[in-house]
Amino acid sequence: MTAAVAPTTAVAPTAGTTATAVRRPALIRSAAALMTSTVASAGLGFLFWVVAARWFAPEAVGRASAAVSAMALLAGLAQLNLINLYARFLPGAGRHTRRLVLGGYAASTAMAVLLGTGFLALGLGSGIIGPAPAQRLVFVAAVLASAIFFISDGVLTALRRAGSVPVKNVIASSAKLALLPLLAGTAAGDGMLLAWTAPMLVTMLGVNWWVLRRLVPAHARTAPAAPAPARRELLGFASAEYVNGLLTNAVAFLPPVLVAGALGATASAYFYIPWTIGVAGSTLLWNVVTSFVVTAASDASAARAHVNRAFLLVAAVVVPGAAVLGTAAGPLLGLLGGEYAAEGAATLRLVGLSLPFTGVILLACAFAMMEKRMWPVVGVQSAGIAAFLLLSWFGLPMVGIIAPAAALCMAQAAVAVVLLPGLVRRYRATTDVADAGTVAPNWAARPARTETATTVTGGAG
């Protein structure tokens, strides 16, 4: 059922008046919806691999997890980091909404097909993807479906329907788990990959039919149309975001592929699960950042309030997350079997230890996105991630699967130390537009004007 949408009008306050923010709790609602989606999807995904580990040998699980990691890595590259671009520009796109959405989808589709076929043509999938045409077609379709599936989260969030994201992701994740026993009779890796892919493809098609038929026209009619960004500004932001996306996806999805190549499929199985849990923690933090950018871009009159909420939500993730992963790594991985706990617990503890550093980095990215000045942050991250990949690759033969987790801790800590002073300065400089005698940051300094907002009833988002 489509939520009822009632247009309301709010006037941005001028200096000396009391600020009344439009949809003031929007950041918390949006972040809560996205975080619920991440936790539920991660939990169901973990259960998927628990079942797979009980039914299949570690070598088969390792091949399948390496295939899923390669697919996710290519999909992450193919989605062009459009989630962040949509978060920044789609709320004010007005009548350009459909063109912006479809243009991004078209670019991502072309990139997904190019990357998927290129990966197979270069022989990079040998050992994890079968040689049959049907097997290769499934892999390329998985890359395409995953890329658009990822992007649609950003579109829903930017269109103020973040409450739909957990519904979409839980449906897909539940279907993956339900399909696993039905496809158990096929070749081990193919059955797991097909069970992982088919629900995403079907869900992606259904959700985007709804987005393009209902949400995009409604947003084009009711959303305030901000001045269109200059082409140079948009291309500069998009290029920096794409490089940032390359770096982020390299950290998230390349290590399992490296482990499979350096140490074999069995080691990959023991590494993949703890690493995936850590990626889920980082995704929770990205949920907060994305929600902050969408909310601040839509309502800059309460800039300091939005920033404070973002900082508190990040702390609410990193503190208990690091504590739980540090103390419960063994029992958690024990659900998959004793060997998984013995081999992967140390990796999971180190991944948990890196979460506070990741929180600092992503908050710095949030400010850079709002200021449309991504390149300085991207430059620092590039150096850190290059060090991470080098340490991981050379450390794998010497210390085993713990190498990427140890490298992640060291690299994230170094990047966080470099970015922290600038983050503190930006936080101190952020004030509400309505505060008399203060100068708001440039992304919050909007002139007073009448804006049309939307009040959604019947659910968050």
CA distance 277 to 321: 10
Residues 340-384: pLDDT tens digits? 889 999 999 999 999 999 999 988 888 887 777 777 877 888 888
pLDDT of amino acid 25: 55
pLDDT of amino acid 294: 66
pLDDT of amino acid 115: 94
Residues across the chain: 461
Residue 209 tokens read as 């039919």
Q: Cite the beta strand spans of 57-211 per DSSP E.
A: none
Pairing label, strands 4-11, 450-457: antiparallel
Q: Residue 64: pLDDT band by 50, 70, 90 thresholds?
A: confident
pLDDT of amino acid 45: 85
Q: Residue 36: pLDDT band by 50, 70, 90 thresholds?
A: confident
pLDDT of amino acid 446: 41
The secondary element (H helix, E strand) that includes residue 455 is strand 450-457
Is the predicted pLDDT of residue 295 greater than 80, yes or no?
no
Is the predicted pLDDT of residue 223 greater than 90, yes or no?
no
pLDDT of amino acid 133: 86
Residue 137 tokens read as 């077609």
CA distance 336 to 124: 29
Residue 239 tokens read as 């290029």
Residue that is written with structure tokens 């989605």 in the block:
79
For residues 235 and 118, which has the higher predicted lDDT (pLDDT)?
A: 118
Residue 166 tokens read as 């957990």
Comparing 4-8, 201-205, 390-394, 416-420, the range with the smallest average pLDDT is 4-8
Query: Which residue pairs from 206-212 have beta carbons closer than 8 angstroms and sit at least 24 positions apart in sequence?
Result: 207/152, 207/156, 207/164, 207/168, 208/105, 208/148, 208/152, 211/101, 211/152, 211/155, 211/156, 211/159, 212/98, 212/101, 212/102
Residues 330-347: pLDDT tens digits? 898 888 888 888 999 999
Mean pLDDT score, 307-321: 86
Is the predicted pLDDT of residue 234 greater than 70, yes or no?
no
Beta bridge partner(s), residue 4:
457
Comparing 127-141, 178-192, 209-223, the range with the smallest average pLDDT is 178-192
Q: Residue 130: pLDDT band by 50, 70, 90 thresholds?
A: confident
Is the predicted pLDDT of residue 434 greater than 70, yes or no?
no
Comparing 203-207, 274-278, 303-307, 338-342, the range with the smallest average pLDDT is 303-307
Nearest alpha-carbon partner for 210 in 144, 164, 163, 274:
164
For residues 391 and 193, which has the higher predicted lDDT (pLDDT)?
A: 391
State the chain's mean pLDDT as an integer: 78
pLDDT of amino acid 326: 87
- Longest pairwise C-alpha distance within the chain: 70
Following CA atoms 66, 68, 71, 72 in sequence, which dihedral angle do they give, to the nearest 10 degrees?
Answer: -110
Q: Are 204 and 145 in contact (CB under 8 A)?
A: yes
